[in-house]
């Protein structure tokens, strides 16, 4: 299920203070299932040692073009021949220039010239070096030659200046590499998702909410981004970081969520309503904190909008995926929800099986029937859900447009 499972990756580390991030990247790639082999340049070894990378990768580290550990003394050939990709992180301005001009004066540049696998380059340098016309030309040439440039990021730099040129954080880099290998089932598609709970205020400090963690919605947003989609995530309050490659709009109440969804909906191919939207909200919100000394408190509730039903009822409705979290009689309620709201797919589960947990057990309901999935981590389930609705999407959009 993991796109990196069994992949052999060459991670090349060049000179720059950002080399320290490469150690964590190697660890994360290995944790994701990749077999990682590190090539360390002379400049890279000035910042992080080979011992660190050998311990984190579990493989010998390669530094010398003439390394005799290769039986034929051709590490630049043998390392890349069965590799699935070479990832240079950090990639200095010097190494980028050498790659563009086909120079081959060390193990890394010789290996890149002799490679027959994809090349992913993550630049890291001072902001003025990054903005220099020579660097801009070199990066454009790298792209034209088929290399994939990852980043850079903007922010504070080791030199004390601020701007573009920072190496992407290891987690973001790892996600970019995973995304590179993931099947692009949703390439060219726009996906809007809702996730997390909503919070319906009673007064400035109290409100009505639920125990939804947002984990399933965020896992789905990430899976859609990996599949090549443009992803808009409208999220209620959670403690989760925005997934890499996903644009997040943070909201609190159901009304705010509805407004945010409608704002990003034009051009959407798939709408996924994962959020546990509160069915009711207080009819009015107290301006100040309600004191306990006031005695019994009575809260009048009013129905919240049904966001997914509203989206599904549009003339230009996208493919709609709903979620049904029930405490009993899952088949009846989930399939009933699919038909009543005219949804193309409903993901159903019993709340006792997955609410707030990292794993879940779900059943998919569509026009062809019910499709039980085995209990799995939510990241795995997210990928299976994406695969399922991606297989139905083209036919739905064709029927909707009549093309």
Q: Look-up: residue for tokens 């004066």?
A: 105
Structure tokens at 74: 């051709």
Task: Give the Cα separation of 289 and 204 in Å (integer).
Answer: 6
Domains of the chain: 8-181 (3.40.50.1950), 190-401 (3.40.50.10300)
pLDDT bucket at 159, cuts 50 / 70 / 90:
confident
Catalytic residues: 159
Indicate the average pLDDT of the chain: 92
Structure tokens at 168: 């992407």
Structure tokens at 290: 């309600």
What is the 3-state composition of the chain as percent helix, strand, coil, each rounded to the nearest 5? 35, 25, 40
Greater confidence (73 vs 107) lies with: 107
Q: What is the pLDDT of residue 1?
A: 60
Q: What percent of the chain is modeled with pLDDT above 90? A: 77
Task: Give the Cα separation of 229 and 297 in Å (integer).
Answer: 47
Q: What is the pLDDT of residue 297?
A: 84
246-259: average pLDDT: 96
β-strands 190-195, 230-235 pairing: parallel
pTM score, whole prediction: 0.82
pLDDT of 51 strictly over 60: yes
pLDDT of 64 strictly over 60: yes
pLDDT of 164 strictly over 70: yes
Q: What is the pLDDT of residue 73?
A: 63
Distance of CA 369 to the CA centre of its chain: 30
The pLDDT tens digits for 334-387 are 999 999 999 999 999 988 776 767 888 999 999 999 999 999 999 899 999 999
The pLDDT tens digits for 212-247 are 889 999 999 999 999 999 999 999 999 999 988 899
């Amino acid at each position: 299920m993991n796109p990196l499972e069994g992949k052999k990756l060459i991670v090349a580390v060049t000179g720059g203070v950002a080399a320290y991030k490469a150690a964590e990247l190697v660890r994360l790639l290995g944790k994701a299932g990749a077999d990682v082999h590190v090539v360390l340049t002379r400049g890279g070894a000035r910042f992080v040692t080979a011992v660190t990378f050998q311990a984190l990768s579990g493989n010998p580290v390669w530094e010398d073009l003439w390394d005799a550990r290769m039986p034929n003394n051709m590490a630049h050939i043998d390392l890349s021949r069965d590799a699935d990709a070479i990832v240079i992180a950090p990639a200095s301005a010097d190494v980028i220039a050498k790659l563009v001009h086909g120079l081959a004066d060390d193990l890394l540049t010789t290996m890149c010239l002799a490679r027959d696998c994809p090349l992913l380059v993550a630049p890291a340098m001072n902001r003025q070096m990054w903005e220099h016309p020579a660097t801009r030309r070199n990066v454009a040439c790298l792209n034209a030659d088929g290399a994939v440039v990852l980043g850079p990021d903007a922010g504070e730099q080791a030199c004390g200046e601020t701007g573009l040129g920072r190496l992407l954080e290891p987690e973001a880099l790892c996600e970019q590499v995973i995304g590179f290998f993931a099947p692009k089932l949703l390439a060219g598609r726009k996906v809007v998702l809702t996730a997390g709970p909503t919070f319906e205020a009673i007064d400035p400090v109290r409100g009505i909410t639920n125990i939804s963690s947002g984990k399933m919605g965020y896992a789905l947003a990430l899976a859609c981004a990996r599949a090549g989609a443009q992803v808009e995530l409208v999220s209620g309050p959670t403690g989760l970081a925005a997934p890499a490659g996903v644009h997040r709009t943070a909201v609190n109440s159901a009304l705010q969520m509805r407004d945010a969804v409608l704002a990003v909906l034009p051009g959407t191919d798939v709408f996924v309503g994962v959020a546990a939207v509160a069915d009711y909200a207080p009819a009015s919100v107290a301006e100040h904190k309600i004191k306990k000394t006031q005695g019994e408190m009575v809260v009048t509730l009013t129905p919240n909008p049904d966001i997914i039903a509203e989206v599904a009822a549009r003339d230009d409705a996208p493919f709609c995926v709903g979620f049904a979290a029930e405490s009993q009689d899952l088949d009846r309620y989930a399939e009933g929800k699919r038909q009543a709201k005219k949804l193309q797919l409903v993901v159903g589960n019993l709340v006792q099986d997955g609410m707030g947990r990292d794993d879940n057990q779900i059943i998919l309901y569509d026009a062809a029937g019910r499709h039980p999935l085995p209990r799995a981590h939510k990241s795995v389930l997210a990928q299976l859900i994406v695969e399922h609705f991606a297989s139905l999407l083209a036919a739905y959009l064709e029927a909707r447009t009549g093309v």
